[in-house]
Amino acid sequence: MMRSPPGEEIYVIDPNLCTECVGHYDEPQCQQVCPVDCIPLDPERHETQEQLMKKYRIITAA
């Protein structure tokens, strides 16, 4: 569990639900809005555009 000072917001990205915004946007939106540029893609979890689109379709079909 992550703890942060009161009032501070911390977001956690679930890699099982992340499609890097494939199906919604051209670029991952978390990286676009992050004020400190701290959201790198995980090199241990590389997914192709096709894999991300398949995940997007499964998630949005539910």
Using CB atoms within 10 Å of the CB of residue 20, give its burial: 0 to 12 exposed, 13 to 18 middle, 19+ buried: buried
User: Alpha carbon of 21 to those of 12, 35, 47: distances in Å?
Assistant: 15, 18, 12
pLDDT on residue 62: 65
CA 10 distance to own-chain centroid: 14
pLDDT on residue 51: 95
Q: Is the pLDDT of residue 1 over 70?
A: no
Full set of structural domains in the chain with CATH: 1-62 (3.30.70.20)
Q: For residue range 13-48, list pLDDT tens digits in order.
A: 898 999 999 988 998 888 888 877 778 778 888 999
* Assessment of whether the complete model's pTM goes beyond 0.85: no
